[in-house]
C-alpha cells in the first residue's frame, strides 16, 4: 500500500495542549488532524516529519531512539513548557533517509540530540495522541531553495510503499507581524493561488510552485519561506498524484485563510 503525503498547516505554538483556552480557534484544525488515521486506513511503520522549525547547513535528521522535547515558543502558559510527547524515534529510518538523500547527491547528517519541536509535536499529538508511532524529523536546508526541496521529496517517494507516512509541517500563511485582520487580504490572495496551483496537472503544478514568489501577495504571506518549504518536499514525494484539501479555513484567528494539502488517494473516502 502506498501512503499519501500531507502538508499540514500546524497552527500556533502548543495549541493542542491548551484546548480549554483556545479550542474555539482550533476546532476545525484539530478535527482534520484527528481524521488522518481514518484517511490512511493503516498504522504507519513510522512518520517522517519535514519541519519548518529546523534548518541546517545540510539536511539533518533526528536519529535518537528517544527524542527529547524542544519548547521553541514564548509567552505561553507554564504547563506548556512541561509538555511531553514521548513518541519513539527510529534510528533505522533516519539512516535510511540519509542514504536515500546521499544517493541522490544531497548531503545529510544525523543528529542524535535533536528533540521534537512544536511543529512536530503540536501537529502529531492530535494524529497519534498515544505517541505510539515512531517519528523522525527532517530539517530544511539553509538557503531554502524550492527546487532542492522538491528534488529531496522525489528521493523520499519509495518510503511511501514501505509504510512510512511523510508529513510536511508548516503553515500556508506565516507572517507573524500580520497574523490577524491586517493579513486577511494577503492570506486569502495567496491561499487562492495555492488552491489553484494544487489543482493543475502535475508538471505544471510543480513548475508553478517553484515560482511561488510570483504569486499574489507571496512575500506578504511568507516574508521568509521556511513554513512553505515543507510543501515542496511532500509534493515531490507524490508528484504525479492528485491533491486534496483536508483542511481549510477562511477565518483562522478571525480573519486568515489557511489550508493543508494531501497528495495521493486516501484508503477511506
Q: Give tens-digit pLDDT for 160-206.
A: 999 999 999 999 999 988 888 889 999 999 999 999 999 999 999 99
Contact predicate 140/54, CB 8 Å: yes
Instruction: Show the CA angle centred on residue 137, arms to residues 134 and 141, nearest 5°.
Output: 165
Half-sphere exposure in the Cβ direction for 144 (13 Å, CA): 17
| C-alpha distance from residue 51 to each of 96, 112, 124, 135, 227 (Å) | 18, 16, 12, 12, 8
Residue-level pLDDT at 179: 87
| Residue 269: band (very low, low, confident or very high) from pLDDT cuts 50, 70, 90 | low
Contact predicate 68/115, CB 8 Å: yes
Q: For the whole prediction, is pTM greater than 0.75?
A: yes
Residue-level pLDDT at 71: 98
Distance CA 46, CA 95 (A): 13
Q: Which residue is associated with the grid cell 484544525?
A: 29
* Residue 49 falls inside a structural domain: yes
Mean pLDDT over residues 3-28, rounded? Answer: 93
| Grid coordinates given for 133 | 508511532
| Grid coordinates given for 174 | 506565516
Distance CA 194, CA 126 (A): 25
- Residue-wise pLDDT for 74-102, tens only, equals 999 999 999 999 999 999 999 999 999 99
- Residue-wise pLDDT for 204-255, tens only, equals 999 999 999 999 999 999 999 999 999 999 999 999 999 999 999 999 988 9
* Residue 234 falls inside a structural domain: yes
- Residue-wise pLDDT for 104-128, tens only, equals 999 999 999 999 999 999 999 999 9
Number of structural domains the chain divides into: 1
Distance CA 202, CA 13 (A): 33
Q: Which of 164, 168, 139, 153 is nearest to 206 (CA)?
A: 153
Residue-level pLDDT at 180: 85
Q: Which of 177, 155, 156 is nearest to 166 (CA)?
A: 156
* Residue 268 falls inside a structural domain: no
* Residue 78 falls inside a structural domain: yes
Q: Which of 58, 231, 234 is nearest to 155 (CA)?
A: 234
Domain span at 194: 5-263
Q: Helix or strand or coil: residue 27?
A: helix
User: Quick one: what percent of the chain has pLDDT higher than 90?
Assistant: 91
| Residue 268: band (very low, low, confident or very high) from pLDDT cuts 50, 70, 90 | low
| CA of residue 100 relative to chain centroid, distance | 20
* Residue 60 falls inside a structural domain: yes
- CATH number, domain of 117, equals 3.40.830.10
Q: Which of 232, 88, 49 is nearest to 146 (CA)?
A: 232
Please state whether 139 falls in left (phi above 0), alpha (psi between -120 and 50) or beta.
Answer: beta
Contact predicate 215/207, CB 8 Å: no
Residue-level pLDDT at 266: 85
| CA of residue 4 relative to chain centroid, distance | 13
Amino acid at each position: 500500500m502506498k501512503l499519501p503525503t500531507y502538508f499540514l498547516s500546524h497552527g500556533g505554538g502548543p495549541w493542542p495542549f491548551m484546548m480549554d483556552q483556545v479550542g474555539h480557534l482550533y476546532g476545525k484544525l484539530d478535527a482534520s488532524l484527528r481524521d488522518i488515521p481514518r484517511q490512511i486506513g493503516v498504522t504507519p511503520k513510522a512518520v517522517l516529519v519535514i519541519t519548518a522549525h529546523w534548518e541546517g547547513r545540510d539536511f539533518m535528521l533526528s536519529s535518537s531512539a528517544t527524542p527529547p522535547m524542544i519548547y521553541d515558543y514564548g509567552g505561553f502558559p507554564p504547563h506548556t513548557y512541561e509538555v511531553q510527547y514521548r513518541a519513539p524515534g527510529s534510528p533505522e529510518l533516519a539512516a535510511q533517509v540519509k542514504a536515500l538523500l546521499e544517493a541522490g547527491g544531497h548531503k545529510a547528517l544525523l543528529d542524535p540530540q535533536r528533540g521534537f519541536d512544536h511543529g512536530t509535536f503540536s501537529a502529531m499529538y492530535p494524529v497519534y495522541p498515544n505517541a505510539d508511532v515512531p517519528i523522525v524529523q527532517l530539517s530544511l536546508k539553509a538557503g531554502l531553495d524550492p527546487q532542492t526541496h522538491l528534488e529531496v521529496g522525489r528521493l523520499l517517494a519509495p518510503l511511501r510503499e514501505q509504510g512510512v507516512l511523510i508529513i510536511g509541517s508548516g503553515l500556508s500563511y506565516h507572517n507573524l507581524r500580520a497574523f490577524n485582520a491586517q493579513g486577511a487580504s494577503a492570506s486569502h490572495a495567496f491561499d487562492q493561488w495555492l488552491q489553484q496551483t494544487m489543482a493543475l496537472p502535475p508538471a505544471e503544478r510543480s513548475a508553478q510552485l517553484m515560482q511561488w514568489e510570483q504569486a499574489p501577495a507571496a512575500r506578504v504571506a511568507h516574508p521568509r519561506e521556511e513554513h512553505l518549504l515543507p510543501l515542496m518536499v511532500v509534493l515531490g514525494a507524490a508528484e504525479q498524484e492528485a491533491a486534496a484539501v483536508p483542511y481549510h479555513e477562511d477565518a483562522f484567528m478571525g480573519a486568515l485563510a489557511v489550508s493543508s494539502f494531501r497528495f495521493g488517494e486516501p484508503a477511506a473516502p
